[in-house]
A and B are shown apart, each in its own frame.
Chain A
Amino acid sequence: MVSILPLELAGVTVVRRGKTIIGPVDMTIAPGGLTVILGPNGAGKTTLLRTMHGVERASGGALRWHGPRGDADLRQSFVFQTPIVLRRSVVENIAYPLLIRGRAKAAARAAAADWAGRVGLAAALDRPAQVLSGGERQKMALARALITGPEIVFLDEPTANLDGRSMREIEAILVAARDRGTRLVLATHNLGQARRLGTEIVFLHNGLVHEAASAEAFFAGPATAEARAFLNGDIVV
């Protein structure tokens, strides 16, 4: 199967009600690894992720996948900061992407049960998903995003507002997915998480990419004053 990567953004802008939210952004997401979109609150991280995934439309510029757009649509998924929980059981939530792609119900359920086990929700299969805790909901959302075997997964602050234990469990799932070859693009303003998980850092500020480098190079010596200030814990305006 031909890869849908690299994803190339050339001069991508998003303008809403006359205000430029991001852009112009030029960047490339090549196969392999975990890119962290790092930046303070309001930098445009979520908008950039949503635009790359296609949930939001770019106002200008070009966003190119390698291969047909239809393939790209089917081989990527998104994990939202606040998990969207279908009013169904846990196993039905996880199975849902397979069902809408025409997989038989029994096969989809079996695959969902397997994924529930992998993310530590085996005991909660038939529970209503709406009674899960925040961490459990996010693990369920991760399983739902991974069940179709996507080539790339976008994650919007997937551990925001979660306790340390849930964060560790979710990061372990992400590391396992990354090591299996799933390309991950994660937005966060959590420096510790960026250090732990990132292989590449894109520093975003006021909707613009200020720096894109390997995680090692970025944390060893950021090239821009804004990134340095952010790493030092200063308020970046």
Chain B
Amino acid sequence: MGEIADGLAAAFRLLVSLDSDLLEITLRSLQVTLTAVAIAAALGVPMGAWLALSRFRHRRATIAVLNALMGLPPVVVGLFVYLLLSRSGPLGVLGLLFTPTAMIIAQVIIATPLIASISHQAIRDLWAEYHDLLISLNASKAQRMRTLIWDGRRSLLTATLAGFGRAIGEVGAIMIVGGNIDHATRVLTTAIALETSKGNFSLALGLGFVLIGLAIAINLAIHALSRTEREGRW
């Protein structure tokens, strides 16, 4: 209990003093995660909608694989991206290893299946509801997809927030591809891991509380912006 109280006090001190290091790694966490989630949503939402509307060979197997990828081990993703971006890897020439871009790539790989899978389920349910009407009105496939994505936007927002939740708390992959370099690739989660390994539990807990607060603040902000739970049953 004492350490938790110390952690809360440390978090309070860090916030009140507007600690420049804290500000830097918080902003980097946000920059990396928000960029990754935006890319993952841009890929995952249409992918989920397309899977819900399309009929093709091995569709069930594709969906099963996508669902399985939701549990992709971040450390394995990190290793995979590391091998891709390392100097001897196929993309080594780009020089991206140990940069925020490498961390974004890893997070995109981790968040996209989650967003695509939840989007697929949401769009599939809505498609079952709308199917007869959209067929009756001769809506083209593109029009169906646009309609389902627009009308299912609240569920898709939830999918995106799930992706954000997975990405913002991720440590294994970004530690491997980012390297936790001070003033370059250190983010909240890797800083927490570092402080814990150094035995600075109160500071690690403080950073943890900041991370939790940040995740809650982002969720609340997105809900407020999208007016969720305010406009009745649509």
Contact = CB atoms under 8 A, between A and B. Distances in A.
Interface stretch (B47-55, B137-145, B216-224): B137-145
B233 interface: yes
Interface stretch (A81-89, A195-203, A211-219, A229-237): A81-89
A84 B129 contact: yes
A84 B133 contact: yes
B171 to A, nearest CB: 38
B130 A84 contact: yes
Contacts of A88: 151, 234
A78 B138 CA distance: 11
Nearest to B126: A87
A89 B234 CA distance: 8
A73 interface: yes
A55 B137 contact: no
A87 B139 CA distance: 17
A130 interface: yes
Interface in A55-74: 55, 73-74
Interface string A66-109: 00000001100110100010111100000011001000000000
Contacts of A130: 232-234
A183 B143 CA distance: 28
Given A84-B129, A100-B138, A131-B232, 15 more contacts: A77-B137, A78-B136, A80-B133, A84-B130, A86-B147, A87-B152, A87-B233, A88-B151, A89-B234, A96-B137, A96-B147, A100-B137, A128-B233, A129-B234, A131-B233
A78 to B, nearest CB: 5
Nearest to A74: B138
A53 interface: yes
A55 B133 CA distance: 9
Interface of A: 53, 55, 73-74, 77-78, 80, 84, 86-89, 96-97, 100, 128-131
Most buried by A among B129, B130, B138: B138
Contacts of A129: 234
Contacts of A87: 126, 151-152, 233-234
Q: Which 10 A-B pairs have the closest CB atoms?
A: A87-B234, A84-B133, A130-B233, A128-B234, A87-B151, A78-B136, A128-B232, A100-B143, A73-B138, A100-B139
14 contacts: A74-B138, A80-B132, A80-B133, A84-B129, A84-B132, A86-B147, A87-B151, A87-B233, A88-B234, A96-B137, A100-B137, A130-B232, A130-B233, A130-B234
Contacts of B231: 128
A74 B136 CA distance: 10
B124 to A, nearest CB: 15
Given A80-B132, A84-B130, A86-B130, A97 B137 contact: yes
B147 A77 contact: no
A100 B146 CA distance: 10
Contacts of B4: none
Contacts of A53: 136
Contacts of B137: 77, 96-97, 100
Interface string B157-184: 0000000000000000000000000000
B151 A86 contact: yes
Contacts of B130: 84, 86
A100 B142 CA distance: 10
A131 B231 CA distance: 11
B23 interface: no
B212 interface: no
B36 to A, nearest CB: 29
A31 to B, nearest CB: 21
The residue among A74, A89, A97 with the most chain B CB atoms within 10 A of its own CB is A97
B93 interface: no
B194 interface: no
A73 B136 CA distance: 8
A53 B133 CA distance: 12
